[in-house]
A and B are shown apart, each in its own frame.
Chain A
Amino acid sequence: MKDPYQTLGLTKQATQEDIKNAYRAMAKKYHPDLNPGNKEAEKKFKDVAAAYELLGTPESRGKFDRGETPEQMQEQQQQYQQQARSSQRTGPFYYNTQQDGGRYSHSFGEDVGMGDIFENLFRQTGRRGPSRPQGGDIPGEDQLYQMEVDFKDSILGADREITLPTGKKLQIKIPPGIDTGKRLRFRGQGGPSAGKGPSGDAYIEVTVRPLAGFRRIDNNVESDLPISFIEGILGAEVQVPTLDGSVILKVPPGVSTGSRLRIRGKGVASAKDPGDQIVVLKVVLPKQINPELQEAVRAWEGKYSYNPRVES
């Protein structure tokens, strides 16, 4: 991966004005909307945009320039690569939205009789022009909206009422185990037909809001549980939060960081394939080691010491 100065064809000595001018010149040349369908231009534009994000303001440039240690430079490179990858984070380019029957290009073609132009053009070569769909009692259009769902609701399921931006209210049954990207369909709740056709459908695409401390792995829920080294040696009964209240978990003696304990039935509340909660243990030492504790450990060190780096 090139460094951002190189991407913009500049050196570190470039002024802020040079950076802006280089960006403008290259962005104009490679912008995907001015190079429809040219993947190479799109890639170059993304690289140039990511480079400009790093160097475009004196503040961001200062941050980049100050990272002189190899670790910081590596971190910056990673950040740069990530930016290059995520410059589409805010959505597709306009050109991409017009390729599969985009409204703007479609209505433009109709307004200026683009179909007729092609009709005439291809008639000369004995070919037919493109056909356009005819109106009538066509069904109303399907509409797609987005909804954020709490992590807990995505695992346990829930009944919710939402209001669409159009003001229409919908009762939603969130099925347990729903994941980001899944769509719920509401028949007949989309756009009305212009004629006597049926209304379209409304689709709600779900995005699950993450919950700190919990992760979903298939139908299970995974959470971390810090324990003291004393609890790890002696075993203990510890209170563990689950998505529907706390439970007491029996930690057996001799567990280590990374040991996994299962709480049955606390994962996805699916009747067909219910999940569990997997608790991943993490042995944590006290933040400050008390001299008395050190003394006590020293006393039994000779008798009970072991080497965890050797398989027993």
Chain B
Amino acid sequence: MKLQKRRPLQEAAQQSGIDLESLLHFIEWQWIHPVDHTHQILDEEDIARARLIWQLQQDFGVNQEAIPIILHLIDQLNCLHIELKIETKKDSTQETSD
């Protein structure tokens, strides 16, 4: 698995261009789960997810109630995508060895 850079909250806010208060709200509402919750440290996944939420809110005008639903669907889509890739890979390996 790729090792991801970790950043304290303040630095993550700077890097993502999202204000600190909004980031704290995203954590409070459990839309993002920092990789290190105790020390409020975010990794690339957390920051990319926060940026997606920010885009949904700021650029697409999605309201607060809809955000967790969209995140749920995107996670589902990503998960299925990964599982499908694993299965396809297994299949092609089996076909090659048969």
Q: 0/1 per residue, B1-37, Cβ < 8 Å to A? A: 1111111100000011100000000000000010110
Residues of chain A within 8 A of B44, CB atoms compared: 91-92, 97
B interface, over-half SS: helix
Within 8 A of A (CB), among B37-96: 39, 41, 44-45, 47-49, 51-52, 55, 59-61, 74-83, 86-87, 90-91
Contact B5 A146 (CB under 8 A): yes
Residues of chain B within 8 A of A33, CB atoms compared: 52, 74
Pick the residue among B8, B39, B48, B78 that contacts A92 (CB under 8 A). B48
Within 8 A of B (CB), among A30-65: 31, 33-34, 36-37
Contact B17 A103 (CB under 8 A): no
The answer to whether the Cβ of A114 comes within 8 Å of any Cβ in the partner chain is yes
Kindly provide the distance from the CB of A51 to the nearest chain B CB, expressed in whole angstroms: 13
Within 8 A of B (CB), among A238-273: none
Assembled-state Cα–Cα distance A114/B83 (Å): 8
The answer to whether residues A109 and B83 also contact, given A92-B44, A93-B52, A94-B51 and a CB cut-off of 8 A, is yes
Assembled-state Cα–Cα distance A63/B80 (Å): 45
Assembled-state Cα–Cα distance A24/B90 (Å): 39
| Size of the chain A interface, CB-CB below 8 angstroms | 46
Q: Write the chain B residue with the least CB distance to A167.
A: B39
Q: Write the chain A residue with the least CB distance to B3.
A: A144
Contact A109 B79 (CB under 8 A): yes
Contact B16 A95 (CB under 8 A): no
Within 8 A of B (CB), among A83-126: 90-106, 108-109, 112, 114-115, 118, 122
Contact A98 B51 (CB under 8 A): no
Residues of chain A within 8 A of B8, CB atoms compared: 165
Residues of chain A within 8 A of B91, CB atoms compared: 127
Contact A108 B81 (CB under 8 A): no
Interchain Cβ contacts under 8 Å between A and B, 13 examples: A24-B59, A33-B52, A90-B16, A91-B48, A93-B52, A99-B82, A109-B83, A114-B79, A118-B87, A127-B87, A127-B90, A130-B83, A146-B7
